[in-house]
Structure 1
Amino acid sequence: MNAPTRVPTGRTRAPDDIDLADPAFWRLPRPERLAAFARLRELDAPVRFTPRTGSRTPFHALVRYEDVKAASRQPQVFASAPGVTTPEPARWAKAVFGNSMVNMDGAEHAGLRRTISRAFTPRLLAAAEENIAAVAARLVDEVVAERPDDFMRSAAARMPFEVICDLMGIPERHRAGIAGLIDHASEYVGVQRRGLARLRVPGRGLRSLARMQLVMAGIARERRRAPADDVISALVRADVDGRALSARGLGAFFSLLLVAGVETTRNAIAHGMALLTAHPGQRALLASDFERYADGAVDEIVRHSTPIIQFRRTVVAERALGGRTFLPGEKVVLLYASANRDGSVFADPDVFDITRSPNPHLGYGGGGPHHCLGAHLAGLEMKALFRELLSRPGDIRAVGEPRLVDSNFDNRVRSLSLAVGDSHPNGVE
């Protein structure tokens, strides 16, 4: 299925109408942004962009599949520290809230990742898979009975949140408050419409993260006194290379799991619902033999929607890549949203095709040590929910396009209108 290899064109400068450092670019409709990425992929080297506001730190945009993949797998050259988002986390924020695993490299990252992986025991994951099926069935029961207007609020957002809370062992009394804090923390991601056009970026919701960490610290103290069969209990007794996991370390991981684990999965679910509605032939194929096509459908939904648009890396050693030599101290941006539409890897990359094979998408990262730890769990959640949605009598479908939040970071869905059977939002057919 691979397209012909790209031929050098002698062009290395971005067209004048494309500026990835300008907030206005991220307010363009998504198809226009994807078209701009396609034009950048035709150039012979990554383009350097300089923001006009904020830190004004220049960055090079990696837009081609092979470049994004290569940088992802060379952490000794393209480092995650001091931070993968823009702006980078302040030192005081790391001191207060702990450093997130996504901003770590080397032994520090490997040790923490190993500890967290051990907490997800086979027995715990087997129980989680049963629970995922039960949560999906209950949520779709409610959709059929209540016929809500918005798929995002009624099912897409609730599915990963309830699964994560059950897996971690968060008591019911804390869940509504934590859900609100997650929404507030992730609200500050993207591009601000009000006032001056400036980027809204991860890290602005620190007050919500602080409150969430206080709640999680209280639950952690309870689990130390009375352990249960959940992830929190496993982590409060864990260590990193012989050292106990600190309260800040626990808080940073809980925030990452709750915000990143919930936000990315709910966006993928919402985009998947919209894509299957917009492509009835693909939906019918999936429904005809769900177990056969489900894994391919999940991969294609993630590729096509790419929930995380980009992450940033800092160059720590001189290296040639993609037609340019990068020097220590320079910044590069890994644009997964562009890499997943690279025609040199994916034939007809804009086509939604659940039978696409192979489908080596970079929706969970480009491989290497930072490959998404929750990829398997997200896939289980998506399959369970779509299995229920497609197996019910009547027609549960999206109405119109998802309403997106302008963002340079994630492909975030604000809402998605829903129709059940003959119903239509607001009673209009």
Structure 2
Amino acid sequence: MSQATRPSDLDGIDLSDLDFWGRPLSERHEAFARLRLHPPVFFDEVDMGPVPAGPGYYALVRHADVVEASRTPSVFASEPSAVSIPDMPQEFNEFFGSMINLDDPRHARMRRIVSRGFTPRMLARLEDGVQRIAEEIVDELLEKGPCDFVTEVAARLPLVVICEMMGIPESHRAMVFENSNVVLAGADPEYLGRDPDVAVHRLLTAGGELAGLLSELAGRRREQPTDDLTSALVNANIDGESLTDQEIGSFFILLAVAGNETTRNAISHGLKLLTLHPGQRELWWSDFEAHAATAVEEIVRHASPVTWMRRTVTRDHEMNGRLYRAGDKVVLYYASANRDETVFTDPDRFDVTRSPNPHVGFGGPGPHFCLGAHLARREITVMFRELHRRVPGIRSTGRPQRLLSDFVNGIKSLPCAF
């Protein structure tokens, strides 16, 4: 569907326009509801300074299309990039080209090796650690009093879990936090500035520092392995295959960014949702364990921390009455699929008992479903359980300061009181 033939009721909707992503969430959801009536809609790419404008992309906004594209990686490929709509320079792939940007057999190889670090023993240790860290966070919250919920609670849990999991010393955690913010800054000038060349420099610097930290740690763990995930990764050998230092570094960036930022945003959105919907909070709090599983899934659906992923069509393919040509770019809008009224009854309603809830907040089904989904669910559950147990009246007390990004539905700060 070209710009010239676009229906008039889509006037004013341009997913490539940064201003669109600065609109209130309610306006964005309403725009996606209109887009779902006319799929697929084609959007032009914009010039990003050092990165020239590409040929444009189709927005996949319906749940069925996102699911089908996710299940058909032979047609909808993650290479050359799943996390950027433009084709980025090669130096970006050095830092940001982890398995999320790979297709089989390279994706399967890396995921097979990485999965060795997520053994039942490792996961059991992680779960014990999540509980301990959540308790420590609430201890300090009670001492501190009203504060910024994002920095004092939501951001700390996944950051500490990931750093402990990888064996990163406490002295480096502030650097990991700051650089992961930069990597997922979208277009937010607080982190990247307003000059495109400065933004690229900051992104590459952040990626280089994170990769360098893991390269140094990996070298030490080869000589003196411990029981952390870094040791498991550097010493994993499956059928003669092991990870290179560059692959370990890029995987850590994926873990630090995807595992830290997305979980923290789910927790932040969760507090805001429970504040806006006191009846749902009362229902969940009345029997926490009975509603925990469905409540966590509903927070992830409602928040959709990761807004989209890109795919590239490998061969001509018809889907939902549309013929896609080899080389076409398509963007899977999880945030829209999670509000599809043909799948979710009253999709804008926040319902902690919603079941079934086939959301795609952890990615669609298929080989790229989030490897850390189990850990993310655990972290969100434990954090809210600890808040329910010890700070049941916690609530947000002001408007969230939102990240200016089309990729992450991020909250930078959220005042809270109890």
Aligned with 1:359: secondary structure? coil
Q: Percent identity?
A: 47
Q: Tell me the CA shift for residue 66 of structure 1.
A: 0.3
- The match for 1:77 is 75
In structure 2, the CA distance between the partners of 1:386 and 1:413, relative to structure 1 (3 Å rule), is same
Is 2:275–2:281's contact at 8 Å kept on the other side of the alignment?
A: yes
TM-aligned CA deviation for residue 174 of structure 1: 2.1
Instruction: Say if 1:69 and 1:202 are closer, same or farther in 2 by CA, change over 3 A.
Output: farther
Which residue is 1:231 aligned to? 229
Q: CA RMSD in A?
A: 2.2
Instruction: Summarize the alignment of residues 178-197 of structure 1 with structure 2, pairs less than 5 Å apart.
Output: 178-187=176-185, 189-190=186-187
Q: Which secondary structure state, in structure 1, belongs to the residue aligned with residue 305 of structure 2?
A: coil
Amino acid at match of 2:92: A
Question: CA separation of 1:325/1:383 partners in 2, compared to 1, >3 Å: closer, same or farther?
Answer: same
Contact 1:399 1:418 in 2 (8 A): yes
For structure 2, the 5+ residue unaligned runs are none
Counterpart of 1:284 (choices 275, 278, 282) is 282
- Counterpart of 2:102 in structure 1 is 104
1:195, CA displacement in angstroms? 8.9
Q: Name 2:353's counterpart in structure 1.
A: 355
Match of residue 46 from structure 1: 40
Residues 69 and 198 (structure 1), Cα distance of their counterparts in 2 relative to 1, 3 Å cut? farther
Partner of 1:115: 113
Question: Secondary structure, in 3 states, of the residue corresponding to 2:10?
Answer: coil
- One-letter amino acid of the structure 1 residue matched with residue 91 of structure 2: W
From the superposition, tell whether residues 199 and 361 of structure 1 become closer, same or farther in structure 2 (CA, over 3 Å).
farther
C-alpha separation between the residues in 2 aligned to 1:180 and 1:191? Answer: 14
TM-score (norm 1): 0.90
Matched, 1:19 2:18: no
Check whether the contact 1:287–1:391 (CA below 8 A) recurs between aligned residues.
Answer: no
Match of 1:89 in 2: 88
Aligned to 1:323: 321
Match of 2:31 among 30, 33, 36: 36
> Higher mean Cα deviation, 322-331 or 24-33?
24-33
What CA distance in whole angstroms lies between the structure 1 residues aligned with 2:214 and 2:146?
A: 31
Secondary structure, counterpart of 1:313 in structure 2: strand
Q: Residues 404 and 395 from structure 1, CA distance in 2 versus in 1: closer, same or farther, beyond 3 angstroms?
A: same
- Runs of 4+ aligned residues of structure 1 deviating over 4 Å after TM superposition are 191-204
Q: Conserved in 2, the CA contact under 8 Å of 1:77 and 1:319?
A: yes
Secondary structure of the equivalent of 2:59? strand
In 2 relative to 1, CA 143–98 (structure 1 residues): closer, same or farther, beyond 3 Å? closer
**More divergent stretch after superposition (315-324 vs 387-396):** 387-396
**Structure 2: distance between partners of 1:105 and 1:394:** 45
- CA 268–410 in structure 1, closer or farther in 2 if over 3 Å, else same: same
Q: CA deviation at 1:401?
A: 3.2
Residue 124 of structure 1, CA deviation: 1.1
Amino acid at match of 2:165: L
**Equivalent residue runs for 1:123-162 within 5 Å:** 123-162=121-160
Mapped contact 2:96–2:253 kept (Cα < 8 A): no
CA distance in 2, matches of 1:349, 1:320: 28
Counterpart residue number, 2:394: 396
Q: Deviations over 1:254-283 (max 9, x none)?
A: 111011110111000000011011111111
Which deviates further from its counterpart, 149-158 or 212-221? 212-221
CA contact (8 A) 1:302 1:363 kept: yes
Aligned mates of 2:141, 2:25 — CA distance in 1: 29
> 1:25 corresponds to which letter in structure 2?
F
Q: Where do 5+ consecutive residues of structure 1 fail to align?
A: 1-10, 421-429
SS at match of 1:42: coil
Larger mean Cα displacement after TM superposition, 219-228 or 150-159: 219-228
Q: Give the CA deviation at 1:147.
A: 1.0
Query: Which 10-residue stretch deviates more, 55-64 or 12-21?
Result: 12-21
TM-score (norm 2): 0.92
Give the distance between the partners of 2:417 and 2:230, measured in 1 at CA: 38
- Counterpart-to-counterpart distance in 2, 1:184 and 1:218: 21
2:138 and 2:387 in contact (8 A); partners too? yes
Counterpart for residue 163 of structure 2: 165
1:258 aligns with 2:256: yes
Determine the C-alpha separation between the residues in 1 that align with 2:182 and 2:125.
30
Matched positions, count: 407
Residue 151 (structure 1) shift: 0.1
Q: Hey, what does 2:174 align to over in structure 1?
A: 176
Measured in 1, the distance between the counterparts of 2:300 and 2:67 equals 16
State whether residues 268 and 411 of structure 2, in contact with CA within 8 Å, keep that contact through their aligned partners in structure 1. yes
Contact 2:298 / 2:354 at 8 angstroms: preserved in 1? yes
Which residue of 2 is the match for residue 6 of structure 1? none
